[in-house]
Each structure stands twice: as C-alpha cells, then as structure tokens.
Amino acid sequence: MDLKKRSAYYKPFFFGVPSLMWQILFFYIPLLCVVVLSFSGPTLFAYFKPFGEAQYIRIIMRSLLLALFNGVVCTVIAYPLAYFLVFKAERLKNLLLFLIILPFWNSFLLHISAWIFVLDRHGVLNNILMWLGMIHEPLHVLNSVTAVCIMMVYFYLPFVVLPLYATLERLEVRLIESSLDLGATWWQTVRKVLIPLTMPGIRSGFFLVFIPSFGEFAIPEFMGGDKEMYVGSVVSRLVLGTQTAGAGAAYTVVSSLALIVVSGGIYWALSRKAISSEL
C-alpha cells in the first residue's frame, strides 16, 4: 500500500520533470553561461580600448533613451486608440482589434522591407511629397534616427494597445462620471482618475515595449545605417565576431544590469501613481 502510494506520488512528477529540465537547461543555464563567459578571456575593458570606454557607455545610454522614447510614444498613441476601441467602436470593435493584431504576427523583416519602400530616397513618401510640390529634393529619411524611431513605434504599437484595451474594458465608467459630476474638469479627470485607474495596463504595455526595444538590433541595422550604434547591434557583432564572444557576453551582462536598474526605477515611479478601483 505504502509503495503504491509512493509510486502514485512520484509518477506524475516524472511527467513534470522534462519541462522543468528543459526550462532550466535551455533558459537558466544559458543566462548563467553569459555571466560565466563574460569573465573568461580578456576583460571587457580590453575591447573598450579601441573605441574608448565612453563609447560603450554612450551606446547603452542611447539605447535606453530610444527604448524610453519608444515606450512613451507608443503608450501615448495607443491610449486614445484603446479608448476608442473600448468605448466608441461598438460593432466594429472586433474587426478593429483584429486589424491591430494582424501586422503584429507577421515577420518583422517584412515590415522592414515595406518601410524601406516607403522611406527610400526614391520611395513612395518622397514621390508623393514631390508630386504635391511640398519638397523639391528627396528627403533622406532612411538611414537616420528618424527612420529608426518611426519603425520602432510602428512595430511596437500593438504590444501596448492590447493590455490597455484589456484594462479599459474592465474600467468602472461610473467613477469617471462621478468625477465629472463632482466638478472636475476633463483634464483633471484624466490625470487624477482615469490614468491612475488604468495604471496596471499602462505599466504592462510600457514594459512590453520598453524591454524588447532596448535589445532591438534589426531595426537600427536596417533603418539607421551604421552611424548610430545600439546595444543590440554591438552585442550581435561582438558575439558573432571571432575572439570577441567574451566581450559580447560581458557587454550583455552590463547592459542587462543597466536595463534592470532603469526598469525597476520606472516600475516604482509608475506604481506610485496607481490607485485601485475597489474603494
């Protein structure tokens, strides 16, 4: 009896083992490997020398700034959109939501090639603007920070719309109405009631954009030319280069630490603004 009971207890555990092993072996150990590798061979500073240490720090700062910009812009654009979808779209709601999700599931290289078409010197945008007579010389949008920013916002926008939509759908509209009834202006209502109530959605949307866009490397590679480097491109070059894998790992560790610290700070700042709807 005892033996049977024990085997009945242990057997299911063996079904759980493969996935736990998989997760540890191919997720946690690799992360550990990055740390181990970062201490192997010549230190990061050996590779800093040719560029100067300041250059690497500046790249981290620039990536953080780009991620922050992207997170803020996406949230600011997505908020009214999600609001529209929840409260005004009515019958078109599902269709419009579907149209937001759709591009998000396509390979993003595909989006990149589409935007190259639009922004190129001979691209659609320049042709249209010249035809309208607004400009006389083609604009050089491609291979600039502007192109990187446009592409980033374009690609990450759906990531924010979905969590915001989910939060706004659960919003107690009566709270907003009572705020207005009690004499608050619409701006006060937005600032003191609407935003704090929907803070969980804003926060998760922001981080769904902020964190991946910090490590983004294909967008800067293709849209930004090689004038401006970002963390993703530096890491990929170092890691895939010969002899520099250790430095690449070290750079990954350093930039991840920077990301964790900044994310923690932003999370704390945003959480302070949140209020619960259960009064």
Residue with smaller CB distance to other proteins, 33 or 57: 33
Cα(141)–Cα(29) distance, integer angstroms: 42
Triad 182, 183, 186: Cα angle to 5° = 115
| Contact set for other proteins, span 223-262 (CB under 8 A) | 231-232, 235-236, 239-240, 245, 248-249, 252, 256, 259
Cα(164)–Cα(201) distance, integer angstroms: 5
| Contact set for other proteins, span 187-206 (CB under 8 A) | 189-190, 204
**Under the criterion CB under 8 A, does residue 148 sit at the interface with other proteins?**
no
Residue with smaller CB distance to other proteins, 129 or 239: 239
Q: Which residue has the tokens 């999700």?
A: 101
Q: Which of 46, 65, 135, 173 binds other proteins (CB under 8 A)?
A: 173
Residue with smaller CB distance to other proteins, 52 or 117: 117
Span of 53-61, 90-98, 139-147, 264-272 interacting with other proteins by CB under 8 A: 90-98
Q: Are 161 and 82 in contact (CB under 8 A)?
A: yes
**Under the criterion CB under 8 A, does residue 30 sit at the interface with other proteins?**
yes
Find the shortest distance in angstroms from Cβ 50 to other proteins. Answer: 21
Triad 232, 162, 262: Cα angle to 5° = 40
**Under the criterion CB under 8 A, does residue 111 sit at the interface with other proteins?**
yes
| Contact set for other proteins, span 34-63 (CB under 8 A) | 34, 36-37
Cα(69)–Cα(73) distance, integer angstroms: 6
**Under the criterion CB under 8 A, does residue 16 sit at the interface with other proteins?**
yes
Crossing angle of helices 108-119 and 124-132, rounded to 10°: 30
Cα(137)–Cα(37) distance, integer angstroms: 50
Find the shortest distance in angstroms from Cβ 9 to other proteins. Answer: 7
**Under the criterion CB under 8 A, does residue 108 sit at the interface with other proteins?**
yes
Nearest C-alpha neighbor of 71 from the set 278, 213, 265: 213
String of DSSP letters for 176-214: HHHHHHTT--HHHHIIIIIHHHTHHHHHHHHHHHHHHHH
**Under the criterion CB under 8 A, does residue 135 sit at the interface with other proteins?**
no
Span of 47-55, 132-140, 157-165, 269-277 interacting with other proteins by CB under 8 A: 157-165
Q: Which residue has the tokens 């020398």?
A: 49
Find the shortest distance in angstroms from Cβ 48 to other proteins. Answer: 18
Find the shortest distance in angstroms from Cβ 205 to other proteins. Answer: 8
Q: Which of 117, 172, 261, 273 binds other proteins (CB under 8 A)?
A: 117
Tokens linked to 197: 């109530």
Neighbouring CB atoms inside 10 A of 28's CB total 10
Find the shortest distance in angstroms from Cβ 164 to other proteins. Answer: 9
Q: Which of 47, 56, 115, 156 binds other proteins (CB under 8 A)?
A: 115
